Amino acid sequence: THFGFRTVPTEEKESLVKGVFSSVASSYDVMNDAMSFGVHRLWKDEYVGTILNPGRRGPVKCIDVAGGTGDIALRILDHAREKYADRDTSVCVVDLNPDMLREGETRFKKTMYHNTSQVSFRVANAQELPPNEFPDNTFDLYTIAFGIRNCTDVPAVLREARRVLKPGGTFACLEFGKVGNPLFAQVYESYSFSIIPLMGHILAGDRASYQYLVESIRRFPSQPDFARMISEAGFATGEMREGKGGAWRDMWGGIASVHMGVKM
Ligand code: SAM
């Protein structure tokens, strides 16, 4: 495609991605904290606050795709309960990688959501969610956090997101973006290209996987290009304008950004 996602053949990339996340699964949460100095927590909190607030009425049926160890799912359920006394909102956590999901399940065992209908875990590919398990027009909210850049075929992910959402349902994505300020961009580049693989090596004994993660961030499209793809997939993306002229919201100068769209 014109965005260059297909440089690696699909199956090859998928098994590569699977391998990466299998090898990082047990160290994933610790590494996230280490590499981002805990900042990913702030981003995720802000993200969940943003995607759950607008025009909220009653419980929300959510699907958290590429949900990994359940970081977003847990925040959604906590937010609904703490802010709205809502114990009916539910999240289906979907991931390609059973090892990541297992970490998530173990973690949820320590929460009050364990063994309730509020949370479930399913192994599936974001690019082709099996229609018998994930029928059309099912969810109010589709979220994918730090996951879409690992997918080989982003338009296919968006197509599936649109399919499983109810009309008027929300697509939300938290992902690494491009840093606008050139000076900051340079600092960030040198940090991510040298320090992150090194930390992967020292803390998790795995340089290659973290090298891959950094490269996947670099290859992912810029915020305006990604916003265009979302809109081309049949979502209304005007929601986040708020006078800022963009269909996304940058966090930390664009290191991460939130994109949203409403199924038309
Ligand atoms: N959303 C979690 C978070 O924010 O902490 C996990 C993000 S983790 C960086 C990316 C996840 O995407 C991994 O668990 C990986 O297995 C999953 N993944 C990669 N490609 C996928 C695909 N095609 N379909 C579903 N999940 C995928």
**CATH number, domain with residue 88:** 3.40.50.150
Whether 190 is covered by a domain: the verdict is no
Confidence bin at 3 (pLDDT 50/70/90): very low
pLDDT in tens, 66-122: 999 999 999 999 999 999 899 999 999 999 999 999 999 999 999 999 999 999 999
CB-side exposure of 63: number of CA atoms within 13 Å?
Answer: 29
pLDDT higher than 60, residue 174: yes
Which residues, 6 or more positions from 195, have their beta carbon under 8 angstroms from its beta carbon? none
Helix or strand or coil: residue 111?
coil
- Gap from CA of 96 to ligand 1 centroid (Å): 7
pLDDT in tens, 43-71: 999 999 999 865 567 899 999 999 999 99
Please tell me the distance from the alpha carbon of residue 99 to that of residue 28, in angstroms, as a whole number.
11
User: Does 17 sit in the ligand 1 pocket, CB within 6 Å?
Assistant: yes
User: How many domains, the chain?
Assistant: 1
Domain that holds residue 115: 38-179+222-263
Whether 33 is covered by a domain: the verdict is no
For the chain, give the mean pLDDT. Answer: 88
What the block records as the tokens of 135 is 């029928």
Q: What percent of the chain has pLDDT over 90?
A: 62
Whether 200 is covered by a domain: the verdict is no
Whether 192 is covered by a domain: the verdict is no
Task: Tell me: is residue 95 an annotated ligand-binding position.
Answer: yes
Task: Tell me: is residue 126 an annotated ligand-binding position.
Answer: yes
pTM of the shown model: 0.90
| pLDDT value for 110 | 95
Whether 217 is covered by a domain: the verdict is no
